[in-house]
């Protein structure tokens, strides 16, 4: 009986040591954020293209449009692009008074702005904030 108990304890110890030494993937590796994201609501027509990079970073391009209901030719726009860190599904772009936070989920990304008066260089009525749905997983091509 003692031998059996010793053998079981030995096997449990080996399993525990092996499991503790096995490297665990980071959240950045678990999430595949590369792809195309879209947000449409009322007058807003926004798109986000993302390329996941090595080292826990993403390269992104965000295009935000406001299209007037009364005159569809009246379009205001805003654009951001850059390379930012991705940690635990969260990426933050900061430049001057502009702060955009991207929280990636399995089927999209929620974007928030620091406040409505943030200085991201967007046109009148343009906002990047909202829930974006992932529409594709192709690697985007950027010109920057």
Is the residue at 4 inside a domain?
Answer: no
| Number of folded domains that form the chain | 1
Q: Who contacts 10 (Cβ-Cβ below 8 Å, separation ≥6)? A: none
Q: Which of 8-22, 30-44, 87-101 has the lowest average pLDDT? A: 8-22
CATH code, 94: 2.40.128
Tokens representing 65 are 């449009």
**Structure confidence by residue, pLDDT tens digits, 30-47:** 469 999 999 999 889 999
In this predicted structure, the answer to whether residue 92 has a pLDDT above a threshold of 80 is: yes
The pLDDT value recorded for residue 25 is: 44
Q: Are 51 and 140 in contact (CB under 8 A)?
A: yes
How does residue 132 score in pLDDT terms, banded at 50, 70 and 90?
very high
pLDDT tens across 104-126, in order? 999 999 999 987 657 899 999 99
Share of the chain above pLDDT 90, in %: 70
The pLDDT score that the predictor gives to residue 94 is: 95
More confident residue, 3 or 107: 107
Residue 2 lies in a domain: no
88 domain-assigned? yes
Residue 91's CB is within 10 A of a number of other CB atoms, namely 25
- Please report the pLDDT score of residue 31 as a whole number: 65
SS3 track for 35-92: EEEEEEECCEEEEEEEEEECCCEEEEEEEEEEECCCCCCCEEEEEEEEEEEEECCEEE
Residue 111 lies in a domain: yes
Task: Tell me the pLDDT of the chain averaged across its residues.
Answer: 86
pLDDT digits (tens, 9 = 90+) for 63-89: 999 999 999 999 999 999 999 999 999
Output the pLDDT for position 119: 84
List the domain range (segments joined by +) for residue 112: 28-136
């Amino acid at each position: 009986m003692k031998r059996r108990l010793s053998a079981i304890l030995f096997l449990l110890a080996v399993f525990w040591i092996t499991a503790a030494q096995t490297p665990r993937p980071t959240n950045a590796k678990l999430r595949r954020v590369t792809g195309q994201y879209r947000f449409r609501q009322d007058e807003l027509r926004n798109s986000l293209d993302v390329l996941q990079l090595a080292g826990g970073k993403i390269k992104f391009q965000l295009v935000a449009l406001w299209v007037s209901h009364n005159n569809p030719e009246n379009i205001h726009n805003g654009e951001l692009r850059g390379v930012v860190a991705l940690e635990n599904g969260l990426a933050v772009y900061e430049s001057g008074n502009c702060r955009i936070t991207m929280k990636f989920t399995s089927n999209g990304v929620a974007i928030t702005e620091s406040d409505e008066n943030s200085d991201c260089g967007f046109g009148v009525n343009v906002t990047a904030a909202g829930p974006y749905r992932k529409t594709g997983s192709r690697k985007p091509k950027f010109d920057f």
